[in-house]
Structure 1
Amino acid sequence: MSIVSPMTRVLKADEIGIAPHNAPRLLLPDPRTVFQQRARRLHYLADGHDLAAWLLFCHALSLAQGRLVDRVQIEDGEAQASLSLALTERSWGYWQALLAELIGATTHSPHSPPTQVGKGLTLEALALVKTLQAWPKATWQTQAQALLLGEDGVTPEAAPFLGAALQVEWTLRASQLPTAIHAAYQGESAVCPVCGSHPMVSLVHTGDPNHGVRYLVCTLCQSQWQAARAKCTNCDSPKEVVLLGPSEKAPIQGECCEVCQSYVKLLSLPREVQLDPCADDLATLGLDVMLEQEGYGRAARNLLSAY
């Protein structure tokens, strides 16, 4: 069944205002609020949701990410080094702590399916944790590099832990970059100008000086970069983009391009101020399914999910 409704609207270039000159083109993340906000939103969205168990699992991961942010120390020289999508031997010291904490977080999570064993885990989950904890260093490195580059071969059960660990390290590094990086960014692109990863969603801000300005949100380092709302962010086509969703006023819709047949979710804070890029993306996987049924492919990634 088509999700295109009479309320679906088409955005044209002359219908969208130009972003204010004082609106920053690039926003670096604050790791001490990113993961806390995500965890709160996931817990809220899980209540009564069909994917409640999954959202609560991601909530536990987000809480662990927040704890790690307060404990992991990255030297200034390391933070200002290249944020290329390559894992080095030097970074593995962080990885051992990150992965151990994140995998262990599932054991101590108060949220779990009804059949429980051990410290709140199902037998299946307990077996998974033990398997992942037994993985050798080389396996984790290979899997993490594949996830970073969007390659095949990543074990689905390991992907959320990999993604969460990657996000902690790269978000910390991005947050410590010098302010001069803002001036170096001259325009939008389909990938993050800070680390080169893909966007997760696009986010329309509220409040001065960013009110009404759309930013792409990086799935890896959580940086945000300005992107015009009148054209596709994937193929850069100036042609019309179509917003598909439950209604014209829905706070989350798919911005779809007829040229490259791709979409990126558009989250509007002016319509719902509590939206969180990662949490609300995970909670609206049904929209992804419907958009794909309409013939569009997702041009964004969420490192905590298969999308």
Structure 2
Amino acid sequence: MSTSRLGIGLAAVGRPAYITGHRSADLGDGRTPEQLEARTHALLDAAYTSGIRYVDVARSYGRAEEFAAHWLDERGLSDVEVGSKWGYRYVGDWDMAATVHEVKDHSLAAFREQWPATRALLGQHLGRYLVHSATLDTGVLADAALHRELAALRERGVRVGISTSGPRQADAVRAALDVMVDGEPLFTAFQVTWNLLEPSAGRALAEAADRGAQVVVKESVANGRLAPGGSDGTAGVDLVAALAAAQGLSPDQLAVAAALAQPWAWRVLSGAATPAQLASHVAAADVALDPGLLEAAMAAAEDSSAYWAARSARPWT
């Protein structure tokens, strides 16, 4: 394996609060915009040195787009692709105790507001632009007027797609694959949660890759549940930890290696908040999993609805 198939996502470092575990240990009290930008730049430097050339951000990740844009400009890099997402707004106002940190809006008006801001920051580095957490119930996958405007991005060379969440990820992927504008598929980029605890979208993602789409895996360590010290007493997490330990791996390394082992995965995101976490994920790119070990690890899968209910209940810290 090669780190060229890894990407780095900035969800955990672009804003002060998020749902990943162990944030007090990872970030401490150093969560001013200036401190998080410095942390982000250090992580991006380490990622670039390791061979990573794909960065994931979103309008709702606090100031992640801005942090990435500053880093790219300061380093003068031309070989890094950035993918961003629209459809959520960050409303937490850098307040750890905010009642609401982000709000969802998949309207055409929201796209028209958010796209120019992303383009102004990221310019030529922006390779793909995704609907953030597209689901069947918001209507975004059936909005012909919106699709027409997204197709204009496609014609400019920006790959258009969706990210997904929730127990019906596979349904959203398949619905998006069938959206056509001017006889051509509109959505050809997908960013989907897949991990050893929640692999339910795998078949749909294989279908997407077979149809020429590029698939990015997010949350491969299940928001920290599959990270070292992330055990929550559930059977699946304990199984992954035990299997990893028997191979001399940490649970996050087994989780990342399992995601990289999926033939349909174009990139697997590291959501690292620290250089040590990133280094662990980079090391996982060189792990060649025995098929028997991968099959045993897949037994960690949880009921999809239960998985997402537990994720929704995670606190922002």
Tell me the TM-score normalized by structure 2. Answer: 0.34
Higher Cα Rg: structure 1 or 2? Answer: 1
Structure with the largest fraction of helix: 2
RCO comparison, higher one (Cα < 8 Å, 6+)? 1
